[in-house]
A and B are shown apart, each in its own frame.
Chain A
Amino acid sequence: MIRDTTWGAKLWATAVWVLVGFFIVNLLAMIATVVTSSFATRWLGTWLPVGWTTRWYASAWSEFQLGDILIVTFQVVGMVVVISGLLGVTAAYALARRDFPGKRLLVLLFLLPLLIPPITFGIPLATVLYRTGLAGTFWGVVAANLVPTVPFVILVMIPFIEQIDPKLEAAARVFGANTFKLFIHVLMPLLLPGILAALLLVLVRTIAMFELTFLVAGPTSQTLVVALYYAVFAAGVRAVQSIDAMAVIYMVTTLIWLIIALRFINPTQIVTRAKQQPAH
């Protein structure tokens, strides 16, 4: 490793760490503000609240009907995870194992929903879903959320499947396994870590997916993040602490899954979608 020992280099390194520290302090202070406020009796013009209470959680729970919203959220997320797993893994297997005309076009088709921001394709998508009457329903929300998650699973799984030796599958074929048996007995056990990682990422991303759910959800099909948006949007109607209590419930819901996900994946995977495709 190269060691720079000049004063300039040391000063530069210190400046960079101060910058990182400043960012992290502000980030954590921002989160701490929300948590503190949710436990505050009254917090105006002082460093810390006058007193502490947990009653905002009870009031937020009943005011925002969080029980119902949480059930809807987990149903939507569960459905999205299962369907994107089924569609994504099978398609990724075909793309990883076969070379056929039009493959690059297909990969581009799966890449686009990840590169185009949800609000850009969400508006035409919502228009179509409103015309077909799906918007506002549970399945409309699931369908909209699947648009970026299916390609995400495909692109995460392709490199994972490519690294499994095709000889294993050939051996299973020799012993008379059909495609279904091959999937269940040979591929599934080998692919399980990859599928788990991909689906956990889908889960975390779907809980936080605001735009698509917001554009197509109706009153009975909104998820927690959309309900939080409406609560913040109508701030002033309700106590700030009540909204913050809801925000904390949202944070806890997301972070539990993030912590579980981080046991299986590297945090950078949340941003870098998949390994770079090798140039053909």
Chain B
Amino acid sequence: MHAHVPAPAATAGPSLRQKLALRGFDAVTFLVVPAAVFSLCLFVYPFAFGLILSFEPKNGGWLANYQRFFSDAYLYDTIINTLALAIPVTVLNLVLAVPVAFRVRLMRRQRLLTTILVLPITLGTVLVAEGLLNYLGPQGWFNRTLMTLGLISHPLRLVHNYWGVFASLLITGFPFTFLLTLSYVTGIDPALEQAGATLGANAWQRFRHIYLPLLMPGFAITFCLSFVQAFSVFPSAVLLGEPAGTTRVISIAAYQAAFEEYDYSMASAVAMIMGFVQLAIVVAVLAARGLFYRGPATGAKG
């Protein structure tokens, strides 16, 4: 093997085509090029363009947009407003989704339930906002039912404030969180739980010591995906909320900069800040996940 044997083929050498094919580049590989070019032009380039544009403000130094954002309470408060909506909603969705997913995983016929739950995701936030405006309004069926039951004497104010947006994020976010959680929960081998039960663990102990450690990575991803969805809330914050007050979320600030002030540089800066906050939370959650068990969750043989 180590002897230097000059082969006759070595003088000609493999062609460039053969060399590329050896590394995995041939005609089939190049089928990926159109989609990759498309993604570069319409996703990577706009992002890079926006990032650079955000450092070229209409007036002032290169950091002027960011300085303006973090010195104007009307602007930097949008981060707090958005977090005040997104974090409680995401935590609540996850806390509700986990026990429901654990119950539904035992069901034989899940399809009807999953179909009903997929409705609000399919219909989208605009329709949910319009529906909730009627349903939760002072004359809506929700308040009417509560008053008939005698639980309240005056209609609750549930639209055009924080709670309207909260409800809409719950109605579109819960099915999303639930279906993701369900796919993680059903991915775990039930034999692990049965082994725990055989050894005398009760339901809580089985959850705490078998499922929870195995599900932690899945929960972290579910939390991140649900959180970024809630964090970028836009139509329901305008239609159902108080877009000049408590539900002036960061996407409203970005939209107003772009389409009301026509300051695309500022709008890009706000979009970059929005992306950065999302990234920071996602990285924090995924880093915290590293503190928990990592390993196979399917209980594979051998």
Contacts and interface: CB of A to CB of B under 8 A. Distances in A.
Contacts of A100: 23-25, 29
Contact of A109 (B39, B100, B106): B39
Interface stretch (A54-62, A71-79, A267-275): A267-275
Nearest to B270: A123
A16 B43 contact: no
A177 B128 CA distance: 51
B127 to A, nearest CB: 6
B257 to A, nearest CB: 9
Interface string B16-33: 000000011111111110
B31 A93 contact: yes
Majority secondary structure, A binding face:
helix
B45 interface: yes
A17 interface: yes
A277 interface: no
A91 B35 contact: yes
Interface string B188-199: 001001100100
A70 interface: no
Contacts, number: 258
Interface string B44-66: 11110111010000000000000
A94 B29 CA distance: 5
B131 A150 contact: no
Q: On chain A, which size bracket covers the interface?
A: 35 or more
14 contacts: A2-B197, A93-B28, A94-B29, A112-B43, A121-B43, A123-B271, A208-B123, A210-B124, A228-B126, A232-B133, A251-B127, A255-B123, A270-B121, A271-B183
Given A47-B141, A98-B24, A243-B130, 11 more contacts: A17-B103, A34-B131, A115-B225, A121-B43, A147-B43, A154-B35, A210-B235, A233-B239, A267-B118, A268-B118, A271-B176
For the complex of A and B, 9 pairs with smallest distance between CB atoms: A124-B50, A100-B24, A117-B232, A91-B35, A208-B124, A94-B32, A123-B271, A271-B179, A30-B131
Interface of A: 1-2, 4, 9, 12-13, 16-17, 19-20, 23-24, 26-31, 33-34, 37, 44-45, 47, 87-88, 90-91, 93-95, 97-101, 103, 106, 109-110, 112-113, 115-121, 123-128, 130, 143-144, 146-147, 150-151, 154, 179, 204, 208-211, 214-215, 225, 228-229, 232-233, 235, 240, 243-244, 247, 250-251, 254-255, 258, 262, 266-268, 270-272
